Amino acid sequence: MPRLILFLFMPSKPQSFQPALTQIIRRIHFNFSASIFIPSITTRHFFHTAGTLLAGLVLVACGKQEPQAPAASAPAPATRVVVVGTDAAYAPFESQNEKGEIVGFDIDVVKAVAQKAGIEVKFLNPPWEGIFNSLGQGDRDLLVSAITITAERQQTMDFSAPYFDAQQLIAVKKDSKIAKFTDLKKLKVGVQNGTTGDEVVTKLQGKENVNIKRFESTPLALKELEGGGVDAVVADNGVVVHYVNNNANSQFKTISDTSFASEQYGLAVKKGNAELLAILNKGLADVKADGTYQQIYTKYFGAAPAAATPAPAVSK
Ligand code: ARG
Protein backbone atom coordinates (compact mmCIF):
# COMPACT_ATOMS: atom_id res chain seq x y z
CA MET A 1 0.00 0.00 0.00
CA PRO A 2 2.71 2.62 0.80
CA ARG A 3 4.14 2.10 -2.66
CA LEU A 4 0.74 2.79 -4.10
CA ILE A 5 0.35 6.00 -2.14
CA LEU A 6 3.69 7.26 -3.36
CA PHE A 7 2.85 6.43 -6.91
CA LEU A 8 -0.52 8.07 -6.61
CA PHE A 9 0.82 11.40 -5.47
CA MET A 10 3.86 11.48 -7.70
CA PRO A 11 2.37 12.86 -10.92
CA SER A 12 2.37 16.63 -10.74
CA LYS A 13 0.47 17.43 -13.91
CA PRO A 14 -3.27 16.74 -13.74
CA GLN A 15 -3.27 15.15 -17.19
CA SER A 16 -0.77 12.55 -16.07
CA PHE A 17 -2.95 11.69 -13.11
CA GLN A 18 -5.51 9.57 -14.88
CA PRO A 19 -3.04 7.29 -16.71
CA ALA A 20 -1.09 6.78 -13.50
CA LEU A 21 -4.20 5.97 -11.54
CA THR A 22 -5.38 3.72 -14.33
CA GLN A 23 -2.13 1.82 -13.98
CA ILE A 24 -2.71 1.38 -10.28
CA ILE A 25 -6.26 0.25 -10.82
CA ARG A 26 -5.10 -2.20 -13.45
CA ARG A 27 -2.59 -3.56 -10.95
CA ILE A 28 -5.27 -3.93 -8.35
CA HIS A 29 -7.56 -5.62 -10.81
CA PHE A 30 -4.69 -7.88 -11.67
CA ASN A 31 -3.67 -8.64 -8.12
CA PHE A 32 -7.15 -9.17 -6.80
CA SER A 33 -8.75 -10.82 -9.72
CA ALA A 34 -12.23 -10.22 -8.33
CA SER A 35 -12.73 -7.65 -11.04
CA ILE A 36 -11.38 -9.88 -13.74
CA PHE A 37 -14.61 -9.37 -15.64
CA ILE A 38 -13.43 -5.89 -16.56
CA PRO A 39 -10.64 -6.46 -19.01
CA SER A 40 -10.59 -2.77 -19.93
CA ILE A 41 -11.35 0.17 -17.76
CA THR A 42 -14.23 2.32 -18.89
CA THR A 43 -14.76 5.76 -17.48
CA ARG A 44 -17.47 4.44 -15.18
CA HIS A 45 -15.24 1.69 -13.88
CA PHE A 46 -12.41 4.15 -13.59
CA PHE A 47 -14.31 6.48 -11.31
CA HIS A 48 -15.90 3.66 -9.41
CA THR A 49 -12.60 1.99 -8.65
CA ALA A 50 -10.81 5.32 -8.17
CA GLY A 51 -13.42 6.25 -5.59
CA THR A 52 -13.01 2.96 -3.74
CA LEU A 53 -9.25 3.30 -3.85
CA LEU A 54 -9.26 6.88 -2.56
CA ALA A 55 -11.60 5.91 0.27
CA GLY A 56 -9.13 3.18 1.16
CA LEU A 57 -6.24 5.63 1.11
CA VAL A 58 -8.06 8.03 3.40
CA LEU A 59 -8.53 5.20 5.88
CA VAL A 60 -4.82 4.40 5.74
CA ALA A 61 -3.94 8.08 6.16
CA CYS A 62 -6.10 8.24 9.26
CA GLY A 63 -4.03 5.49 10.79
CA LYS A 64 -6.82 2.95 10.72
CA GLN A 65 -6.18 -0.65 9.98
CA GLU A 66 -5.21 -1.17 6.38
CA PRO A 67 -8.33 -2.18 4.52
CA GLN A 68 -7.94 -5.38 2.60
CA ALA A 69 -8.09 -5.08 -1.13
CA PRO A 70 -10.62 -2.28 -1.47
CA ALA A 71 -11.58 -3.05 -5.06
CA ALA A 72 -12.10 -6.69 -4.20
CA SER A 73 -13.86 -6.54 -0.87
CA ALA A 74 -16.39 -3.84 -1.69
CA PRO A 75 -19.61 -5.35 -3.02
CA ALA A 76 -19.56 -3.72 -6.41
CA PRO A 77 -22.60 -4.78 -8.40
CA ALA A 78 -21.90 -2.23 -11.12
CA THR A 79 -18.55 -3.78 -11.95
CA ARG A 80 -19.91 -7.30 -11.66
CA VAL A 81 -22.04 -7.03 -14.78
CA VAL A 82 -20.75 -9.45 -17.37
CA VAL A 83 -21.16 -7.96 -20.84
CA VAL A 84 -22.26 -10.60 -23.31
CA GLY A 85 -21.90 -10.16 -27.06
CA THR A 86 -24.20 -12.06 -29.42
CA ASP A 87 -24.97 -11.80 -33.12
CA ALA A 88 -28.72 -11.90 -32.70
CA ALA A 89 -29.62 -12.87 -36.25
CA TYR A 90 -29.43 -16.55 -35.60
CA ALA A 91 -32.77 -17.97 -34.52
CA PRO A 92 -33.48 -20.07 -32.60
CA PHE A 93 -30.17 -19.49 -30.79
CA GLU A 94 -30.25 -15.70 -30.68
CA SER A 95 -32.54 -13.23 -32.36
CA GLN A 96 -34.48 -10.07 -31.65
CA ASN A 97 -38.21 -10.27 -30.98
CA GLU A 98 -40.76 -7.63 -32.03
CA LYS A 99 -39.95 -5.66 -28.91
CA GLY A 100 -36.28 -5.59 -29.82
CA GLU A 101 -35.35 -7.90 -26.96
CA ILE A 102 -32.59 -10.40 -27.52
CA VAL A 103 -34.04 -13.87 -27.07
CA GLY A 104 -33.26 -17.49 -27.87
CA PHE A 105 -31.81 -20.76 -26.69
CA ASP A 106 -28.32 -19.35 -26.10
CA ILE A 107 -29.74 -16.38 -24.22
CA ASP A 108 -31.83 -18.59 -21.93
CA VAL A 109 -28.84 -20.83 -21.26
CA VAL A 110 -26.58 -17.90 -20.35
CA LYS A 111 -29.30 -16.34 -18.18
CA ALA A 112 -29.80 -19.62 -16.35
CA VAL A 113 -26.05 -20.03 -15.88
CA ALA A 114 -25.76 -16.45 -14.65
CA GLN A 115 -28.55 -16.98 -12.17
CA LYS A 116 -26.88 -20.09 -10.79
CA ALA A 117 -23.52 -18.35 -10.63
CA GLY A 118 -24.89 -15.18 -9.06
CA ILE A 119 -23.57 -12.92 -11.77
CA GLU A 120 -25.42 -10.24 -13.68
CA VAL A 121 -25.37 -10.33 -17.47
CA LYS A 122 -26.09 -7.68 -20.03
CA PHE A 123 -26.56 -8.63 -23.70
CA LEU A 124 -25.29 -6.58 -26.61
CA ASN A 125 -25.91 -7.34 -30.27
CA PRO A 126 -22.77 -6.69 -32.31
CA PRO A 127 -22.43 -8.05 -35.85
CA TRP A 128 -20.79 -11.46 -36.23
CA GLU A 129 -17.97 -9.91 -38.17
CA GLY A 130 -15.38 -8.72 -35.67
CA ILE A 131 -17.21 -10.30 -32.76
CA PHE A 132 -14.10 -12.18 -31.67
CA ASN A 133 -11.98 -9.02 -31.70
CA SER A 134 -14.31 -7.43 -29.17
CA LEU A 135 -13.23 -10.11 -26.69
CA GLY A 136 -9.57 -9.36 -27.19
CA GLN A 137 -10.15 -5.64 -26.84
CA GLY A 138 -12.08 -6.21 -23.65
CA ASP A 139 -15.34 -4.64 -24.86
CA ARG A 140 -17.15 -7.89 -24.10
CA ASP A 141 -16.50 -10.35 -21.32
CA LEU A 142 -18.33 -13.23 -22.89
CA LEU A 143 -19.63 -14.28 -26.29
CA VAL A 144 -22.57 -16.56 -26.87
CA SER A 145 -23.42 -16.95 -30.52
CA ALA A 146 -23.74 -20.62 -31.38
CA ILE A 147 -19.96 -20.47 -31.58
CA THR A 148 -18.33 -23.70 -32.62
CA ILE A 149 -15.28 -24.62 -30.57
CA THR A 150 -12.45 -24.97 -33.07
CA ALA A 151 -8.73 -25.53 -32.60
CA GLU A 152 -8.03 -22.32 -34.48
CA ARG A 153 -10.29 -20.22 -32.29
CA GLN A 154 -8.81 -21.79 -29.18
CA GLN A 155 -5.55 -20.10 -30.07
CA THR A 156 -7.05 -16.70 -29.41
CA MET A 157 -9.86 -17.26 -26.90
CA ASP A 158 -10.95 -19.70 -24.24
CA PHE A 159 -14.10 -21.78 -24.38
CA SER A 160 -16.39 -23.20 -21.74
CA ALA A 161 -17.32 -26.86 -21.78
CA PRO A 162 -19.50 -27.55 -24.84
CA TYR A 163 -23.19 -26.87 -24.34
CA PHE A 164 -24.68 -27.87 -27.71
CA ASP A 165 -23.96 -30.35 -30.51
CA ALA A 166 -24.30 -29.18 -34.09
CA GLN A 167 -23.36 -29.99 -37.65
CA GLN A 168 -23.38 -28.28 -41.02
CA LEU A 169 -26.47 -28.74 -43.15
CA ILE A 170 -27.08 -27.90 -46.81
CA ALA A 171 -30.18 -26.00 -47.87
CA VAL A 172 -31.28 -26.11 -51.51
CA LYS A 173 -34.49 -25.45 -53.43
CA LYS A 174 -36.95 -28.33 -53.37
CA ASP A 175 -36.51 -29.01 -57.07
CA SER A 176 -32.69 -28.97 -56.91
CA LYS A 177 -30.69 -31.95 -58.22
CA ILE A 178 -27.99 -31.44 -55.59
CA ALA A 179 -27.72 -34.58 -53.46
CA LYS A 180 -24.47 -34.29 -51.54
CA PHE A 181 -21.86 -31.81 -50.43
CA THR A 182 -19.33 -32.52 -53.22
CA ASP A 183 -22.04 -31.63 -55.76
CA LEU A 184 -21.44 -28.04 -54.66
CA LYS A 185 -17.85 -28.03 -55.93
CA LYS A 186 -18.60 -25.80 -58.92
CA LEU A 187 -21.83 -24.17 -57.81
CA LYS A 188 -22.63 -20.85 -56.15
CA VAL A 189 -22.82 -21.39 -52.42
CA GLY A 190 -23.94 -18.92 -49.79
CA VAL A 191 -22.38 -18.92 -46.33
CA GLN A 192 -22.14 -16.57 -43.38
CA ASN A 193 -18.72 -14.96 -43.54
CA GLY A 194 -16.20 -16.42 -41.10
CA THR A 195 -18.35 -19.28 -39.87
CA THR A 196 -17.59 -22.98 -39.87
CA GLY A 197 -19.97 -23.20 -42.86
CA ASP A 198 -17.64 -20.78 -44.65
CA GLU A 199 -14.70 -22.99 -43.66
CA VAL A 200 -16.07 -26.22 -45.11
CA VAL A 201 -17.13 -24.59 -48.37
CA THR A 202 -13.78 -22.80 -48.63
CA LYS A 203 -12.07 -26.16 -48.21
CA LEU A 204 -14.18 -27.65 -50.99
CA GLN A 205 -13.93 -24.80 -53.47
CA GLY A 206 -10.69 -23.01 -52.61
CA LYS A 207 -10.26 -19.72 -50.78
CA GLU A 208 -10.39 -17.32 -53.70
CA ASN A 209 -13.26 -19.03 -55.46
CA VAL A 210 -15.78 -16.43 -56.59
CA ASN A 211 -18.56 -18.99 -56.32
CA ILE A 212 -18.48 -18.64 -52.55
CA LYS A 213 -20.89 -15.88 -51.60
CA ARG A 214 -20.14 -14.66 -48.10
CA PHE A 215 -22.94 -12.89 -46.25
CA GLU A 216 -22.86 -11.02 -42.97
CA SER A 217 -25.66 -13.16 -41.58
CA THR A 218 -27.06 -16.62 -42.25
CA PRO A 219 -30.63 -15.37 -42.88
CA LEU A 220 -29.24 -13.11 -45.62
CA ALA A 221 -27.58 -16.11 -47.27
CA LEU A 222 -30.85 -18.05 -47.07
CA LYS A 223 -32.78 -15.10 -48.55
CA GLU A 224 -30.34 -15.15 -51.44
CA LEU A 225 -31.12 -18.84 -51.97
CA GLU A 226 -34.81 -17.98 -52.03
CA GLY A 227 -34.15 -15.39 -54.69
CA GLY A 228 -32.04 -17.82 -56.72
CA GLY A 229 -28.79 -15.89 -56.31
CA VAL A 230 -27.02 -18.98 -54.97
CA ASP A 231 -27.57 -22.71 -55.58
CA ALA A 232 -27.16 -23.76 -51.96
CA VAL A 233 -26.43 -22.51 -48.47
CA VAL A 234 -24.25 -24.33 -45.96
CA ALA A 235 -24.86 -23.38 -42.34
CA ASP A 236 -25.48 -24.79 -38.86
CA ASN A 237 -28.29 -27.38 -38.87
CA GLY A 238 -30.32 -25.77 -36.08
CA VAL A 239 -30.56 -22.47 -37.90
CA VAL A 240 -31.29 -23.97 -41.31
CA VAL A 241 -34.02 -26.24 -39.93
CA HIS A 242 -35.57 -23.35 -38.02
CA TYR A 243 -35.60 -21.19 -41.16
CA VAL A 244 -37.14 -23.91 -43.32
CA ASN A 245 -39.83 -24.58 -40.70
CA ASN A 246 -40.70 -20.91 -40.39
CA ASN A 247 -40.54 -19.90 -44.05
CA ALA A 248 -42.84 -22.31 -45.85
CA ASN A 249 -42.72 -20.08 -48.92
CA SER A 250 -39.01 -20.56 -49.30
CA GLN A 251 -39.53 -24.04 -50.80
CA PHE A 252 -36.29 -25.42 -49.42
CA LYS A 253 -35.17 -28.91 -48.63
CA THR A 254 -32.18 -29.83 -46.53
CA ILE A 255 -29.36 -32.30 -47.22
CA SER A 256 -27.10 -33.70 -44.55
CA ASP A 257 -23.72 -35.08 -45.47
CA THR A 258 -21.62 -37.53 -43.52
CA SER A 259 -18.45 -35.66 -44.46
CA PHE A 260 -19.39 -32.85 -42.07
CA ALA A 261 -17.59 -33.09 -38.74
CA SER A 262 -19.63 -32.86 -35.59
CA GLU A 263 -19.38 -29.44 -33.98
CA GLN A 264 -19.94 -28.24 -30.46
CA TYR A 265 -20.88 -24.80 -29.26
CA GLY A 266 -19.07 -23.17 -26.37
CA LEU A 267 -19.20 -19.87 -24.49
CA ALA A 268 -16.13 -17.81 -25.36
CA VAL A 269 -14.14 -15.62 -23.00
CA LYS A 270 -10.97 -13.65 -23.39
CA LYS A 271 -7.92 -15.89 -23.38
CA GLY A 272 -6.72 -16.33 -19.82
CA ASN A 273 -9.96 -15.30 -18.09
CA ALA A 274 -9.87 -18.46 -16.03
CA GLU A 275 -12.06 -17.08 -13.27
CA LEU A 276 -15.02 -16.28 -15.50
CA LEU A 277 -14.53 -19.57 -17.31
CA ALA A 278 -14.67 -21.51 -14.04
CA ILE A 279 -17.87 -19.69 -13.05
CA LEU A 280 -19.45 -20.47 -16.42
CA ASN A 281 -18.44 -24.12 -16.36
CA LYS A 282 -19.77 -24.56 -12.86
CA GLY A 283 -23.02 -22.81 -13.87
CA LEU A 284 -23.36 -24.99 -16.97
CA ALA A 285 -22.84 -28.14 -14.92
CA ASP A 286 -25.42 -26.91 -12.41
CA VAL A 287 -28.12 -26.12 -14.98
CA LYS A 288 -27.57 -29.51 -16.57
CA ALA A 289 -27.70 -31.29 -13.24
CA ASP A 290 -30.94 -29.67 -12.06
CA GLY A 291 -32.83 -30.06 -15.35
CA THR A 292 -32.92 -26.36 -16.29
CA TYR A 293 -30.82 -26.97 -19.39
CA GLN A 294 -33.10 -29.81 -20.53
CA GLN A 295 -36.13 -27.58 -20.04
CA ILE A 296 -34.63 -24.82 -22.18
CA TYR A 297 -33.61 -27.37 -24.81
CA THR A 298 -37.12 -28.78 -25.00
CA LYS A 299 -38.61 -25.28 -25.21
CA TYR A 300 -36.63 -24.55 -28.38
CA PHE A 301 -36.16 -27.93 -30.00
CA GLY A 302 -39.28 -29.77 -28.96
CA ALA A 303 -37.44 -32.81 -27.63
CA ALA A 304 -34.99 -33.48 -24.86
CA PRO A 305 -31.30 -33.44 -25.79
CA ALA A 306 -30.18 -36.86 -27.05
CA ALA A 307 -27.58 -37.43 -24.36
CA ALA A 308 -25.30 -35.49 -22.10
CA THR A 309 -22.99 -33.43 -24.26
CA PRO A 310 -19.81 -35.48 -24.58
CA ALA A 311 -16.34 -34.26 -23.69
CA PRO A 312 -14.93 -31.51 -25.90
CA ALA A 313 -14.29 -32.78 -29.39
CA VAL A 314 -12.62 -29.99 -31.26
CA SER A 315 -13.44 -29.63 -34.92
CA LYS A 316 -10.65 -28.50 -37.18
N1 ARG B 1 -21.41 -22.29 -35.46
C2 ARG B 1 -20.91 -21.47 -36.51
C3 ARG B 1 -19.54 -20.95 -36.15
O4 ARG B 1 -19.19 -20.93 -35.02
C5 ARG B 1 -21.81 -20.32 -36.86
C6 ARG B 1 -22.14 -19.41 -35.74
C7 ARG B 1 -22.81 -18.13 -36.19
N8 ARG B 1 -23.49 -17.53 -35.10
C9 ARG B 1 -24.20 -16.41 -35.16
N10 ARG B 1 -24.85 -16.00 -34.13
N11 ARG B 1 -24.24 -15.74 -36.27
O12 ARG B 1 -18.79 -20.53 -36.99
Closest ligand 1 atom, residue 145 Cα: 10
Residue 108 CB neighbour total at 10 angstroms: 20
Pick the CATH number of 168-255 from 1.20.1270.10, 3.40.190.10, 3.40.50.10580, 3.30.429.10: 3.40.190.10
- Chain centroid, CA 180 distance in Å: 31
pLDDT at 52: 58
Going residue by residue through the chain (316 aa), what tens digit of pLDDT does each one get? Answer: 444 443 333 444 444 444 444 444 444 444 444 344 444 455 555 556 555 555 544 444 444 444 444 555 544 444 469 999 999 999 999 999 999 999 999 999 999 999 999 999 999 999 999 999 999 888 899 999 999 999 999 999 999 999 999 999 999 999 999 999 999 999 999 999 999 999 999 999 999 999 999 999 999 999 999 999 999 999 999 999 999 999 989 999 999 999 999 999 999 999 999 999 999 999 999 999 999 999 999 999 998 787 654 444 454 4
User: Rounded to whole angstroms, how far apart are CA atoms 207 and 221?
Assistant: 18
User: What spacing in Å lies between the alpha carbon of 146 and ligand 1's midpoint?
Assistant: 5
pLDDT at 20: 46
User: What spacing in Å lies between the alpha carbon of 93 and ligand 1's midpoint?
Assistant: 10
Question: Ligand 1 pocket by C-beta < 6 Å: which residues?
Answer: 87, 90, 94, 128, 145-148, 192, 195-196, 236
pLDDT at 47: 59
In which residue ranges of the chain is CATH 3.40.190.10 found?
81-165+264-301, 168-255
User: What spacing in Å lies between the alpha carbon of 90 and ligand 1's midpoint?
Assistant: 8
User: What spacing in Å lies between the alpha carbon of 143 and ligand 1's midpoint?
Assistant: 11
pLDDT at 286: 98
Nearest-CA residue for atom 5 of ligand 1? 195
- Answer whether CATH 3.50.50.60 is correct for domain 81-165+264-301: no
Residue 183 sits at φ, ψ, to 5 deg, of -65, -15
User: What spacing in Å lies between the alpha carbon of 91 and ligand 1's midpoint?
Assistant: 11
pLDDT at 136: 85
User: What spacing in Å lies between the alpha carbon of 128 and ligand 1's midpoint?
Assistant: 8
Closest ligand 1 atom, residue 235 Cα: 5
User: Rounded to whole angstroms, how far apart are CA atoms 90 and 31?
Assistant: 38
Closest ligand 1 atom, residue 265 Cα: 1
pLDDT at 138: 84
Substitution site in 159, 218, 240 for ligand 1 pocket (most atoms within 8 Å of beta carbon): 218
Closest ligand 1 atom, residue 195 Cα: 12
pLDDT at 240: 98
